[in-house]
Amino acid sequence: MQYRCAIIDDEPLALDILESYIQRTPYLELVTKSLELKTVADLIAERKVDVVFMDVNLRGDNREYISRLMQNDCVFILVTAYSSREVQHLFHRGKRGYLGKPASYKKFVGEMERLKIASS
């Protein structure tokens, strides 16, 4: 199965790293990426995104966009420098994942495999 992905991160280097990881992974396809949440919040449903990689600490007031984003039926993987304990209060682990920054490709693939198993 091919998974359609979106990346939202206000750090250009982190955005580039995640993009390269998605390109290296045969069952992933990048359909949109942005430095700003508001740019892609509405595109997620329109482009039928399956997985959203999202930085937890995006600049600006994003409450409206996060609320809109969370209405989509997709997997959210939080990408952050915060520890997983600090982030757990934000999301339940069901259709959610976590990648600490900087994430190695091995950890990236491990999290994707965990989510593939959980969703099957």
Task: Read off the pLDDT of residues 94-103 as tens digits, 9 standing for 90 and up.
Answer: 457 888 888 8
| Tens-place pLDDT, residues 18-66 | 999 999 999 999 999 988 887 887 788 888 999 999 887 777 666 666 7
Phi/psi of residue 107, nearest 5 degrees: -65, -40
Half-sphere exposure of 50 (CA within 13 A, CB side): 13
Segment 70-83 shows an average pLDDT of: 79
Domain 3-119 homologous superfamily, CATH: Response regulator (3.40.50.2300)
Sign, CA dihedral 62-32-30-2, equals: positive
Instruction: Assess contact for 18 and 80: CB atoms under 8 A.
Output: no
Instruction: Assess contact for 25 and 53: CB atoms under 8 A.
Output: no
- Report pLDDT for 87: 57
Q: Bigger pLDDT: 87 or 30?
A: 30
- Report pLDDT for 79: 87
Please report, for the chain, the start and end positions of each structural domain, with discontinuous segments joined by +: 3-119
